[in-house]
Amino acid sequence: MERTLVILKPSAIQRGIIGEIITRFEKKGLILIGLKMMQLDDAILNTHYSHLAEKPYFKRVKDSMTACPVIVCCWEGKNAIEVVHTMAGATNSSKALSGTIRGDYSMSHQENIVHTSDSVETAKKELNLFFMNHELYNYQLASYKYLYGDDEID
């Protein structure tokens, strides 16, 4: 099973759609194994968005991400990284398909509701940045046997 990071950005918090977003991942069959609210600071943002550090809009990104606390989540499931990234939709929400989180809840490129990991390597790096090992829990849902076929479980 894969693990992936989701950050519910200040735009999701301020709009009061936290529960709706989490519910979508739960209904898909992903397992929530870590969840916390935190106020991001320069240190964590400089690490997390280091690939944007030289971009002219980097300060806007940091200002947006520090507008209020965020909620960071770790979701687990078969192909969780691809599933979650697909559910989020295109980064530029105005181009995101209806039915995706960004397509249904956002019009903005910057205020695009969620961040999701885009690869196995990125997910591992991001989860280590936002969670300590003891903050992630291993358990099995009672409904687990109804989420996957017998031949789909690793």
Q: Which of 48, 109, 115, 134 is catalytic?
A: 115
Q: Provide the greatest CA pair distance for the chain.
A: 50
Cα-to-chain-centroid distance, residue 28:
14
Using H for helix, E for strand and C for coil, what is the string for 62-108? Answer: HHHHCCCCEEEEEEEECCHHHHHHHHHCCCCHHHCCECEHHHHHCCC
Concerning whether 134 is annotated as a catalytic residue, the answer is no
Instruction: Indicate which residues carry an active-site annotation.
Output: 115
